[in-house]
Structure 1
Amino acid sequence: MRRLGREGPLVSDIGLGCMGMSQFYGAWDDAESIRTIHRAIDLGVNLLDTADMYGPYTNEELIGRAVRGRRDQVLIATKFGNVKGPDGRVIGVNGRPEYVRSSCEGSLRRLGVEVIDIYCQHRVDPSVPIEETWGALAELVAEGKVRHLAVSEASPRTVRRAHAVHPVCAVQTEYSLVSRDPEEELLPVLRSLGIGFVAYAPLGRGLLTGRITAADDLTGDDFRRTLPRFQPDTLSHNAGVVERIALLAGSLGVSLTRLSLAWVLAQGFDIVPIPGTKSLARLEENVAATLLELSPAELAILDDLAPPGCAAGDRYPDMSGVNV
């Protein structure tokens, strides 16, 4: 177990990202997803990560169905702030206090719970002072509708300002062997403030499974086709980086996935990765990473194979909405 923040919740070493169970990565099956969630709980995974925009809205409903009768065994983390239009596309970010409250009420209803364990601001609204957004969030905590607060893709300066209004238990952003930007500035600030870190896409959105080496490996509706790191020129470079890591995994007798997650876990006990999957087999492989302890020599080799900045291409087509 790892604690998110000095006074935050105790969570399992590894969580379960549920986004792909309702959108983004091709076809899905609700029944299989619920079986995967139940198996995760059986394996000791207690952190389930979702958001109102996933689906949109349907992922929260799925989580709600899955945890009925097992609510006391899980911590539910959901998010607000990304606003979607009728066609499902994100049309903006909203951090206004009245929107915060209405979003929370909607999530509570869809999840079928009385309290959200971790309520996360999905993206920072640059048009609303963070103090106003977090003032509204603090009210939700005081009212017992939310237990802990988090923020995703926020700059160190914004995190400091939010933390001054109400304790931030965790900051969430992308972090993996092929996406190490948080190490430069964000992680040191979080550690100085006693804030935890939730690493989403700890397998590089599938790159670090070794199963994506060309655009044709993705279905036509897979949103990764829009990401700079999965374009033909950049994907060729990034697959080469992954291949070198895979060779090390082979020499150690472990899977590439397990090695990659073990590396994230080794970066600090304040870091909790939330790999997403809708497959029982892949879930069990992910959880097995918690049993793999890497030596200093092995970690040094990985640093050489995948140093900061090793991946080609930005994380998103438009990076202006992250690290605000």
Structure 2
Amino acid sequence: MHKRQLGKSDLFVSEIGFGCMSLSTNQQEANKIIQTALNNGITYFDTADLYDQGENEKIVGNALKDNRQDIILATKVGNRVNASGDGWSWDPSKKWITTGIHASLKRLQTDYIDVYQLHGGMMEDDVDEVIDTMESLKKEGLIREYGISSIRPNVIERFLQKSNAVSVMMQYSLLDRRPEECFSLLEDNQASLLIRGTVAKGLLTADGLNRANKTHNYLSYSNKELIDTIEKLQALDAPISSIALQYALQIKVTGSLIIGASSSEQLIESIEAYKQPVPESILLEAAEITKREIYLEHRITI
């Protein structure tokens, strides 16, 4: 498994990272999947305090505690679960972030977080307070680096330009190319792209047509457009899942593809797809087949 430098930091992350949100709440089952990830060279693990109201962090902490020095551990903060537990609200305040980091450290059974990410963001946020808080956590040694998980170009632009953030997590795939307008911004600010949704909910896998037939539409793709596009991608001379992964990895600013899996077998399938090389000519063909669009809301120019 190859590794890439995360932004301007000293951290190096595996090209395939593991998205822990899909883990079972059964510790034994989770341990098995995480061990499969470790055995196959995955060193980047991503969770959030929101997942299963903190239970996911506990599961991850238990599974990784004996490998802590060998991995890069990331979590997120900013979504505050309601007292009733039936919902959450957005809270990027210094008080909540400071409370959140100590709670996450305890659940994850560690003294520090490698990459602490703001789990969202709005233009109404006091971004200076958020950044000052993150920088304070770095000075205290509670986090090594920080970033943001957001799809809002204006929020991302402001955060990158004002901070020392090393990463931005966004949904990106051949079927959702909207983030491409932000790539030069990431490069200019020496931040890496952490990609989720690379196989577009399974549409960019061997089972893609079956899934497409059960999908009314996907983003701006109508059902017919979706089926036609997947058929064309599947007709290319490489497995569609490998094309999807290698297309995302060819992006200069890409740090890691965050892949989820609910079983070891599913994770191994993704890793095998990652190992399959895809010629640049096929990646160019795939780009011609799919739409290049931009975000219609949350524009960079405001």
TM-score interval, normalised by the smaller of the two chains? 0.7 to 0.9
Counterpart of 1:220? none
Q: Secondary structure at the match of 2:267?
A: helix
Alignment counterpart, residue 67 of structure 1, candidates 64, 69, 78: 64
- The amino acid of 1:213's aligned partner reads A
Match in the other structure for 2:97: 100
* Unaligned 5+ runs, structure 1: 23-27, 217-224
Among 209, 221, 232, the alignment partner of 1:244 is 232
Contact 2:193–2:253 (8 Å) recurs in 1: no
Contact between 2:183 and 2:253, CA under 8 Å: does it hold in 1? no
Q: Aligned pair 1:14/2:16, yes or no?
A: yes
2:74 alignment counterpart: 77
Q: Which residue, 161, 172, 182 being the options, matches 1:175?
A: 172
Give the structure 1 partner of residue 54 of structure 2.
57
Give me the whole-angstrom Cα distance separating, in 2, the residues matched to 1:57 and 1:234.
Answer: 37
TM-score in terms of structure 1 length: 0.82
Partner of 1:122: 119
CA distance, structure 2, for counterparts of residue 125 and residue 296 of structure 1: 37
Native 8 Å contact 1:21 1:30 kept in 2 = no
Q: Secondary structure at the match of 1:69?
A: helix
Shift of 1:235: 4.7
Distance 1:105 1:94 in 2: 16
Q: 1:299-322 CA deviation, whole Å, 9 max, x = no partner? A: 111012213249xxx99xxx77xx
How does the TM-score come out when normalised to structure 2? 0.87
Q: Count residues in correspondence.
A: 296
Percent identity, please: 24
Q: Return the offset for 1:98.
A: 0.5
Match of 1:229 in 2: 218
Map residues 62-211 of structure 1 onto 2, 5 A cutoff: 62-85=59-82, 86-89=84-87, 91-153=88-150, 155-163=152-160, 165-184=162-181, 186-209=182-205, 210=208
Shift in CA distance, 237/34, structure 1 to aligned 2, threshold 3 Å: farther
Give 1:124 deviation, angstroms.
Answer: 1.0
CA contact (8 A) 1:50 1:59 kept: yes
Using the TM superposition, give the Cα deviation of residue 156 of structure 1 relative to its aligned residue in structure 2, in angstroms.
Answer: 4.8
Q: For the Cα contact (< 8 Å) 2:45–2:73, is it kept in 1?
A: yes
> Structure 2, unaligned stretches of length 5 or more?
none
Deviations for 1:113-158, whole angstroms, at most 9, x for unmatched residues? 1100100001114433211111111111100000110101154554
Q: 1:299 is matched with which residue?
A: 283
Secondary structure in 2 matching 1:15 = strand
Residue 211 of structure 2 corresponds to: 212
Q: Confirm whether residue 3 of structure 1 aligns to residue 5 of structure 2.
A: yes
> Structure 1 residues 120 and 280, CA, compared in 2 at 3 Å: closer, same or farther?
same
Comparing both structures, which one devotes a greater share of its residues to strand? 2
CA positional deviation for 1:8: 4.2
Residue aligned with 1:207, SS: coil
Provide the rounded CA distance (Å) in 1 between the counterparts of 2:96 and 2:183.
29
Task: Point out 4+ residue stretches in structure 1 off by more than 6 angstroms.
Answer: none
Q: Partner amino acid for 1:193? A: N
Q: Distance in 1 between matches of 2:81 and 2:203?
A: 27
